[in-house]
Amino acid sequence: MPMDFQHQAMGYDRTATMFSPEGKLLQVEYAEKAIKWGSASIGMVCNDGVMILADKRIDEKLITPTSSSKISEIDSHIIASSAGIVADARVLIERSQVLAQQHRVTYDSPIEPETIIKEISNIKQQFTQYGGARPFGVAIMVAGINNGKTELYASDVTGNYFSYHANAIGENDEKIREKLREEYRKDLTIKKGAKIALNIFKEIRGDKFDFDKFELAFIKKDNIKIEKIEGEELKNFVK
């Protein structure tokens, strides 16, 4: 009998708090697989700001396009995208939005992007350590401006998070990261970064690539305001 089936037969995958003999939390590994099915996002730190390009993956014509946005505003200087179970992401993003507003009211200053990703990661970690609930099946990428500096973070299922120059989450994330390792440069502008990201998606998706299924959000250093573009406007932006 294959080892994976032995583990399931012995019940190691029935709770997120039980380690297998190999030291793995199988429910957490299953949650990571859910992320791989989610639509992808690419984030980049650029010399003039920070950006996230997300695949909205809208296949149903009856859905209103504005209701399927993959990039959320956490605060006026922070954006976030997700991959995996969208409902799980909504809970974490709404918690982050409340935290950001509480920070402004309490300290009269904008919250740091790392504080946001740390809060998200702490919540995720709790759901791998206590029984009675499943892990969050979602990866979150957070991008923002902190005292004039651009920052990009990503958090996985386990509650780990790292800072990145460029990163991808969701479907084909490793293939996208391989392309980013080849093409990313620190002197990229947002416009050039968006063009590279779209070309990566175009190469991976092939005939299924469609500009209308992507949205770009970015924040510039000299104008800390979230800007979102998609569709025809996005096509013109990267020309």
- We report the CATH number of the domain holding residue 39 as 3.60.20.10
Residues ≥6 apart with Cβ < 8 Å to 26? 7, 8, 12, 13, 20
The pLDDT of residue 4 is above 70: no
| Per-residue pLDDT band at 10 (split at 50, 70, 90) | low
pLDDT in tens, 57-89: 877 777 776 677 899 999 999 999 999 999 999
- Dist CA 60 CA 54 (whole Å): 17
Candidates 233, 112, 85, 68; CA nearest to 169 is 85
Question: Each residue of 25-63: pLDDT tens digit?
Answer: 888 888 899 999 999 999 999 999 999 999 988 777 777
Q: Give tens-digit pLDDT for 130-170.
A: 877 889 999 999 999 999 999 999 999 999 999 999 999 99
Element holding 120 (H helix, E strand): helix 113-126
pTM: 0.91
Q: Residue 1 has what pLDDT?
A: 47
Cα gap 49→47, rounded to integer Å: 6
What phi and psi values does residue 208 have, to the nearest 5 degrees?
Answer: -85, -5
Full residue range of the structural domain in which residue 47 is found: 3-237
- pLDDT bin (cut points 50, 70, 90) of residue 8 is low
| Domain total in the chain | 1
3-state secondary structure 10-48: HCCCCCCCCECCCCCEHHHHHHHHHHHCCCCEEEEEECC
